[in-house]
């Protein structure tokens, strides 16, 4: 099994999820924009306005802000967006933390996320800390605590006022993939 990260695996599922939450003339902040393929496809169905954040200068388009999402988000007025999309490799925890800390986030905003755990992938220790697992505990039993990553993610969301998530879980080889969304209350 390759550990290579691939853009837009489970493309059909991701597309359907974005089609479900978006409506005509929505303003979207796509925090791990890549080449913008998914939202370009949505634009063939309905008109949405997309601003992308992308760290890789070889990707993106005219509407892309270049930089790390977790560093760009604090400077943005999030009230301008109806949808904020986190299609990350691994966990979007650091960027989501910045979203919740940004006082311009408005009620009714849809937040899409991708949360992937691979067989050999690292776990965000700060995320595990959300449920009381410190670095020393993690060092002792990495494999045991790894399975608690998505539980920690849900706990983090709950701690930030999220009471309902809509989640699709897939197992692809050695990867556990969670695709979902919630609405800011």
SS (HEC) of 2-20: CCCCCCCCCHHHHHHHHHH
Task: Answer yes or no: is 156 within a domain.
Answer: no
Residue 4: what pLDDT? 45
Task: Answer yes or no: is 79 within a domain.
Answer: yes
Task: Answer yes or no: is 4 within a domain.
Answer: no
Question: Contact, 53 vs 69, CB < 8 A?
Answer: yes
- Residues 22-42 pLDDT 10s: 999 999 999 999 999 999 999
Task: Answer yes or no: is 106 within a domain.
Answer: yes
- In the sheet that holds 27-30, the strands lie side by side as 64-66, 49-54, 27-30, 83-87, 110-118, 175-183, 166-172
The burial of 161, by beta-carbon neighbours within 10 Å (0-12 exposed, 13-18 middle, 19 or more buried), is given as exposed
Task: Answer yes or no: is 66 within a domain.
Answer: yes
**Could you tell me the two tokens for 39?**
């939202």
Give the domain range for residue 80.
11-121+162-183
User: What b/e string do you get for 115-135 counting C-beta neighbours within 10 Å, with b at 16 or more?
Assistant: bbbbeebebbeebbebbebee
Q: Output phi, psi for 32, to 5 deg.
A: -130, 70
Distance CA(88)–CA(95), nearest Å, equals: 10
Residue 27: what pLDDT? 98
Question: Contact, 82 vs 27, CB < 8 A?
Answer: yes
In CATH, what number is assigned to the domain containing residue 33? 3.40.50.150
Counting Cα atoms < 13 Å in the Cβ hemisphere of 17 gives 27
> Number of structural domains, the chain?
1
Residue 97: what pLDDT? 95
Average pLDDT of the segment spanning 10-20: 92
Task: Answer yes or no: is 135 within a domain.
Answer: no
Task: Answer yes or no: is 142 within a domain.
Answer: no
Bridge partners of residue 29, in order along the sequence: 51, 84
The residue behind tokens 């005509």 is: 24
User: Confidence band (pLDDT; 50, 70, 90) for 89?
Assistant: confident
Task: Answer yes or no: is 153 within a domain.
Answer: no
Average pLDDT of the segment spanning 125-146: 83
Question: Contact, 48 vs 60, CB < 8 A?
Answer: no
């Amino acid at each position: 099994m390759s550990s290579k990260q691939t853009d837009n695996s489970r493309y059909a599922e991701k597309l359907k999820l974005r089609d479900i939450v978006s409506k005509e003339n929505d303003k979207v902040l796509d925090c791990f924009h890549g080449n913008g393929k998914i939202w370009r496809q949505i634009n063939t169905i309905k008109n949405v306005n997309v601003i992308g954040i992308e760290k890789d200068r070889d990707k993106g388009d005219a509407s892309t802000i270049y930089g790390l999402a977790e560093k760009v988000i604090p400077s943005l007025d999030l009230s301008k967006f109806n949808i904020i999309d986190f299609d990350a490799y691994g966990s979007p925890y650091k960027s989501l933390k910045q979203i919740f800390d940004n006082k311009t986030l408005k009620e009714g905003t849809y937040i899409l996320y991708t949360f992937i755990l691979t067989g050999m992938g690292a776990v965000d220790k700060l995320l595990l800390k959300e449920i009381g697992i410190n670095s020393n505990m993690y060092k002792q039993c990495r494999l045991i605590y790894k399975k608690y990553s998505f539980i920690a993610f849900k706990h983090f969301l709950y701690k930030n006022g999220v009471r309902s998530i809509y989640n699709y879980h897939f197992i692809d080889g050695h990867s556990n993939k969670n695709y979902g969304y919630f609405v800011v209350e």
